[in-house]
Structure 1
Amino acid sequence: MELTRHQIREIAFQTLFALNTNDQTDWKDFFQVLTSGKYGDDYPEYLHQLISGVLEHKSEIDHTIEKYLASSWSLERIARTDLIILEIAIYEMVYVDDMPAKVSINEAIELAKKFSDDRSRKFVNGILSHALEELVK
Protein backbone atom coordinates (compact mmCIF):
# COMPACT_ATOMS: atom_id res chain seq x y z
CA MET A 1 0.00 0.00 0.00
CA GLU A 2 1.42 3.35 -1.08
CA LEU A 3 1.16 6.43 1.09
CA THR A 4 -0.21 9.57 -0.53
CA ARG A 5 1.69 12.85 -0.23
CA HIS A 6 -1.06 14.01 2.12
CA GLN A 7 -0.46 11.00 4.39
CA ILE A 8 3.28 11.55 4.14
CA ARG A 9 2.86 15.18 5.27
CA GLU A 10 0.80 14.02 8.25
CA ILE A 11 3.49 11.52 9.23
CA ALA A 12 6.20 14.16 8.66
CA PHE A 13 4.29 16.57 10.92
CA GLN A 14 3.85 13.95 13.64
CA THR A 15 7.48 12.89 13.37
CA LEU A 16 8.83 16.44 13.50
CA PHE A 17 6.55 17.17 16.47
CA ALA A 18 7.83 14.05 18.24
CA LEU A 19 11.44 14.96 17.48
CA ASN A 20 10.75 18.44 18.87
CA THR A 21 9.48 17.05 22.18
CA ASN A 22 11.81 14.06 22.67
CA ASP A 23 15.52 13.46 22.92
CA GLN A 24 15.25 10.79 20.24
CA THR A 25 17.06 11.79 17.08
CA ASP A 26 16.28 8.98 14.64
CA TRP A 27 13.08 9.93 12.84
CA LYS A 28 12.81 6.43 11.36
CA ASP A 29 11.94 5.09 14.83
CA PHE A 30 8.98 7.48 14.94
CA PHE A 31 7.92 6.39 11.45
CA GLN A 32 7.84 2.79 12.69
CA VAL A 33 5.66 3.75 15.65
CA LEU A 34 3.33 6.01 13.67
CA THR A 35 2.71 3.39 11.00
CA SER A 36 2.61 0.46 13.45
CA GLY A 37 5.57 -0.98 11.59
CA LYS A 38 3.44 -2.05 8.64
CA TYR A 39 5.95 -0.63 6.13
CA GLY A 40 9.03 -2.07 7.78
CA ASP A 41 12.10 -0.08 6.81
CA ASP A 42 10.46 0.87 3.53
CA TYR A 43 9.77 4.53 4.25
CA PRO A 44 8.74 6.85 1.41
CA GLU A 45 11.50 8.95 -0.15
CA TYR A 46 9.32 12.07 0.08
CA LEU A 47 8.98 11.55 3.84
CA HIS A 48 12.76 11.44 4.14
CA GLN A 49 13.02 14.56 1.96
CA LEU A 50 10.50 16.51 4.07
CA ILE A 51 11.89 15.57 7.47
CA SER A 52 15.57 15.92 6.63
CA GLY A 53 14.89 19.05 4.57
CA VAL A 54 13.00 20.81 7.37
CA LEU A 55 15.68 19.84 9.89
CA GLU A 56 18.55 20.83 7.59
CA HIS A 57 17.06 24.20 6.58
CA LYS A 58 15.32 25.00 9.89
CA SER A 59 17.12 28.28 10.54
CA GLU A 60 16.41 29.67 7.04
CA ILE A 61 12.81 28.45 7.18
CA ASP A 62 12.25 29.96 10.62
CA HIS A 63 13.81 33.24 9.44
CA THR A 64 11.31 33.28 6.56
CA ILE A 65 8.42 32.68 8.96
CA GLU A 66 9.65 35.46 11.27
CA LYS A 67 9.48 37.97 8.40
CA TYR A 68 5.70 37.53 8.22
CA LEU A 69 4.90 37.67 11.93
CA ALA A 70 3.36 40.77 13.48
CA SER A 71 6.01 42.92 15.13
CA SER A 72 4.86 41.89 18.62
CA TRP A 73 5.26 38.18 17.80
CA SER A 74 8.24 35.85 17.85
CA LEU A 75 8.71 32.21 16.92
CA GLU A 76 8.52 31.34 20.62
CA ARG A 77 4.91 32.61 20.75
CA ILE A 78 3.77 30.32 17.95
CA ALA A 79 2.23 27.04 19.07
CA ARG A 80 4.61 24.14 18.30
CA THR A 81 1.98 22.52 16.08
CA ASP A 82 1.54 25.67 14.01
CA LEU A 83 5.29 26.26 13.72
CA ILE A 84 5.93 22.73 12.45
CA ILE A 85 3.07 23.02 9.94
CA LEU A 86 4.53 26.32 8.71
CA GLU A 87 8.03 24.83 8.50
CA ILE A 88 6.82 21.94 6.34
CA ALA A 89 4.90 24.28 4.02
CA ILE A 90 7.72 26.81 3.68
CA TYR A 91 10.17 23.98 3.02
CA GLU A 92 7.94 22.72 0.20
CA MET A 93 7.38 26.21 -1.21
CA VAL A 94 11.09 27.04 -1.31
CA TYR A 95 12.93 23.76 -1.78
CA VAL A 96 10.61 21.31 -3.60
CA ASP A 97 10.70 22.06 -7.31
CA ASP A 98 7.71 20.04 -8.49
CA MET A 99 5.35 21.31 -5.77
CA PRO A 100 3.00 24.20 -6.58
CA ALA A 101 3.05 26.63 -3.65
CA LYS A 102 -0.75 26.70 -3.48
CA VAL A 103 -0.78 22.94 -2.93
CA SER A 104 1.62 23.38 0.01
CA ILE A 105 -0.62 26.09 1.46
CA ASN A 106 -3.77 23.99 1.09
CA GLU A 107 -2.05 20.99 2.65
CA ALA A 108 -0.82 23.14 5.56
CA ILE A 109 -4.38 24.35 6.15
CA GLU A 110 -5.56 20.72 6.16
CA LEU A 111 -2.87 19.84 8.72
CA ALA A 112 -3.95 22.80 10.86
CA LYS A 113 -7.59 21.66 10.67
CA LYS A 114 -6.61 18.17 11.81
CA PHE A 115 -3.93 18.93 14.40
CA SER A 116 -4.79 22.44 15.60
CA ASP A 117 -7.84 24.71 15.67
CA ASP A 118 -9.71 27.24 13.54
CA ARG A 119 -7.64 30.21 14.72
CA SER A 120 -4.47 28.31 13.85
CA ARG A 121 -5.83 27.50 10.40
CA LYS A 122 -6.36 31.21 9.75
CA PHE A 123 -2.95 32.10 11.19
CA VAL A 124 -1.17 29.49 9.04
CA ASN A 125 -3.07 30.63 5.95
CA GLY A 126 -2.17 34.27 6.62
CA ILE A 127 1.56 33.62 7.07
CA LEU A 128 1.78 31.36 4.02
CA SER A 129 -0.26 33.70 1.82
CA HIS A 130 2.16 36.54 2.60
CA ALA A 131 5.12 34.24 1.92
CA LEU A 132 3.59 33.23 -1.40
CA GLU A 133 3.25 36.87 -2.48
CA GLU A 134 6.98 37.39 -1.97
CA LEU A 135 8.01 34.04 -3.44
CA VAL A 136 6.19 34.69 -6.74
CA LYS A 137 7.80 38.11 -7.24
Structure 2
Amino acid sequence: MAITRHQTREKAFQTLFALAGNPEADMSTLYDNVLEDVILEQKDGIDVLPTYLETLVSGVLAHKADLEIKISQYLADGWTFARLAQSDRIILEIAFFELNYVDQEIVPAKVAVNEALNLAKTFSDERSRKFINGVLDKALN
Protein backbone atom coordinates (compact mmCIF):
# COMPACT_ATOMS: atom_id res chain seq x y z
CA MET A 1 0.00 0.00 0.00
CA ALA A 2 1.33 3.41 -0.98
CA ILE A 3 1.88 6.13 1.58
CA THR A 4 -1.18 8.39 1.92
CA ARG A 5 -1.14 12.17 1.46
CA HIS A 6 -1.81 12.55 5.20
CA GLN A 7 1.15 10.32 6.06
CA THR A 8 3.23 12.26 3.55
CA ARG A 9 2.40 15.52 5.31
CA GLU A 10 3.36 13.97 8.66
CA LYS A 11 6.69 12.85 7.20
CA ALA A 12 7.23 16.30 5.67
CA PHE A 13 6.57 17.87 9.09
CA GLN A 14 9.06 15.48 10.72
CA THR A 15 11.69 16.18 8.07
CA LEU A 16 11.28 19.96 8.32
CA PHE A 17 11.31 19.80 12.13
CA ALA A 18 14.55 17.80 12.06
CA LEU A 19 16.06 20.29 9.60
CA ALA A 20 15.08 23.19 11.85
CA GLY A 21 17.15 21.61 14.60
CA ASN A 22 20.02 20.64 12.33
CA PRO A 23 20.12 22.67 9.09
CA GLU A 24 23.26 20.85 7.95
CA ALA A 25 21.63 17.40 8.15
CA ASP A 26 21.89 15.12 5.15
CA MET A 27 18.50 15.05 3.39
CA SER A 28 18.87 11.45 2.31
CA THR A 29 19.49 10.37 5.90
CA LEU A 30 16.55 12.44 7.15
CA TYR A 31 14.23 10.88 4.60
CA ASP A 32 15.48 7.40 5.51
CA ASN A 33 14.84 8.09 9.19
CA VAL A 34 11.32 9.49 8.81
CA LEU A 35 10.31 6.83 6.31
CA GLU A 36 11.71 3.82 8.18
CA ASP A 37 8.21 2.66 9.21
CA VAL A 38 6.69 3.10 5.74
CA ILE A 39 6.60 0.58 2.94
CA LEU A 40 7.73 2.48 -0.12
CA GLU A 41 7.20 1.76 -3.76
CA GLN A 42 10.27 0.37 -5.43
CA LYS A 43 11.79 0.80 -8.84
CA ASP A 44 14.50 -1.64 -9.89
CA GLY A 45 14.76 -2.82 -6.27
CA ILE A 46 15.37 0.67 -4.91
CA ASP A 47 12.93 2.51 -2.62
CA VAL A 48 11.32 5.48 -4.33
CA LEU A 49 10.84 8.62 -2.27
CA PRO A 50 7.21 9.78 -2.41
CA THR A 51 7.02 12.66 -4.90
CA TYR A 52 4.67 14.76 -2.79
CA LEU A 53 7.03 14.47 0.20
CA GLU A 54 9.82 15.97 -1.89
CA THR A 55 7.41 18.61 -3.20
CA LEU A 56 6.39 19.69 0.31
CA VAL A 57 9.86 19.70 1.86
CA SER A 58 11.69 21.33 -1.04
CA GLY A 59 8.80 23.74 -1.63
CA VAL A 60 8.69 24.93 1.98
CA LEU A 61 12.47 25.32 2.02
CA ALA A 62 12.56 27.16 -1.32
CA HIS A 63 9.77 29.57 -0.33
CA LYS A 64 10.63 29.93 3.36
CA ALA A 65 11.09 33.72 3.32
CA ASP A 66 7.91 34.29 1.32
CA LEU A 67 5.94 31.90 3.54
CA GLU A 68 7.13 33.78 6.64
CA ILE A 69 5.87 37.06 5.16
CA LYS A 70 2.52 35.53 4.17
CA ILE A 71 2.00 33.94 7.60
CA SER A 72 3.16 37.02 9.52
CA GLN A 73 0.43 39.21 8.03
CA TYR A 74 -2.22 37.04 9.71
CA LEU A 75 -0.67 37.00 13.18
CA ALA A 76 -2.21 39.02 15.99
CA ASP A 77 -0.63 42.37 16.89
CA GLY A 78 2.50 41.89 18.96
CA TRP A 79 3.19 38.43 17.55
CA THR A 80 6.08 37.73 15.22
CA PHE A 81 6.85 34.67 13.17
CA ALA A 82 9.98 34.05 15.25
CA ARG A 83 7.89 34.00 18.42
CA LEU A 84 5.80 31.02 17.23
CA ALA A 85 6.54 27.53 18.52
CA GLN A 86 8.67 25.59 16.03
CA SER A 87 5.95 22.99 15.47
CA ASP A 88 3.30 25.67 14.82
CA ARG A 89 5.61 27.45 12.37
CA ILE A 90 6.23 24.30 10.37
CA ILE A 91 2.54 23.33 10.28
CA LEU A 92 1.67 26.82 9.05
CA GLU A 93 4.47 26.75 6.47
CA ILE A 94 3.19 23.47 5.05
CA ALA A 95 -0.39 24.77 4.97
CA PHE A 96 0.54 28.10 3.39
CA PHE A 97 2.75 26.31 0.86
CA GLU A 98 -0.20 24.14 -0.16
CA LEU A 99 -2.54 27.13 -0.23
CA ASN A 100 -0.21 29.30 -2.33
CA TYR A 101 1.95 26.99 -4.44
CA VAL A 102 -0.01 23.78 -5.03
CA ASP A 103 -2.77 23.66 -7.64
CA GLN A 104 -6.12 23.98 -5.85
CA GLU A 105 -7.49 21.17 -8.01
CA ILE A 106 -4.87 18.87 -6.51
CA VAL A 107 -5.17 20.16 -2.93
CA PRO A 108 -8.25 22.32 -2.33
CA ALA A 109 -7.91 25.01 0.33
CA LYS A 110 -10.34 23.17 2.61
CA VAL A 111 -8.14 20.06 2.47
CA ALA A 112 -4.96 22.05 3.20
CA VAL A 113 -6.59 23.61 6.27
CA ASN A 114 -8.03 20.32 7.50
CA GLU A 115 -4.66 18.60 7.09
CA ALA A 116 -2.91 21.40 8.99
CA LEU A 117 -5.36 20.95 11.87
CA ASN A 118 -4.74 17.20 11.81
CA LEU A 119 -1.00 17.84 11.99
CA ALA A 120 -1.61 20.13 14.96
CA LYS A 121 -3.60 17.38 16.69
CA THR A 122 -0.68 15.00 16.21
CA PHE A 123 2.32 17.28 16.79
CA SER A 124 1.00 20.10 18.94
CA ASP A 125 -1.65 20.81 21.55
CA GLU A 126 -5.26 22.03 21.59
CA ARG A 127 -4.28 25.66 22.11
CA SER A 128 -1.93 25.56 19.14
CA ARG A 129 -4.57 23.85 17.01
CA LYS A 130 -6.99 26.69 17.75
CA PHE A 131 -4.28 29.25 17.00
CA ILE A 132 -3.41 27.58 13.68
CA ASN A 133 -7.10 27.38 12.80
CA GLY A 134 -7.48 31.11 13.51
CA VAL A 135 -4.50 32.06 11.33
CA LEU A 136 -5.69 29.88 8.46
CA ASP A 137 -9.25 31.16 8.80
CA LYS A 138 -8.00 34.77 8.50
CA ALA A 139 -5.90 33.81 5.48
CA LEU A 140 -8.86 32.27 3.67
CA ASN A 141 -11.30 35.10 4.41
Q: Structure 2-normalised TM-score?
A: 0.89
2:107 — aligned with what? 99
Give CA-to-partner distance per residue, 1:21-65, whole Å, 9 cap, x none. Answer: 014343332110122275354111100000000000011111010
| Alignment-derived partner of residue 9 in structure 1 | 9
Q: Distance in 2 between matches of 1:125 and 1:34?
A: 26
Moved over 6 A (4+): none
User: Structure 2 unaligned runs (5+)?
Assistant: 41-45
Q: In 2, Cα distance between the equivalents of 1:23 and 1:55?
A: 11
**2:131 paired residue number:** 123
Identity of aligned residues (%): 52
Question: What amino acid is the match of 2:13?
Answer: F
Partners in 1 of 2:69 and 2:60 — Cα distance? 13
C-alpha separation in 2, matches of 1:23 and 1:100: 31
Number of positions where the alignment pairs a residue of Structure 1 with one of Structure 2: 133
What's the TM-score once normalised by structure 1's chain length?
A: 0.92
Q: How does 1:12-91 map to 2 (within 5 A)?
A: 12-36=12-36, 38-39=39-40, 41-91=47-97
Most deviating of 13-22 and 37-46: 37-46
Name whichever structure is richer in helix by fraction: 1
Q: Which runs of 5+ in 1 are unaligned?
A: none
Bigger drift between 55-64 and 28-37 goes to 28-37
CA distance in 2 between partners of 1:58 and 1:5 (Å):
21
Calculate the aligned-residue CA RMSD, in Å: 1.4
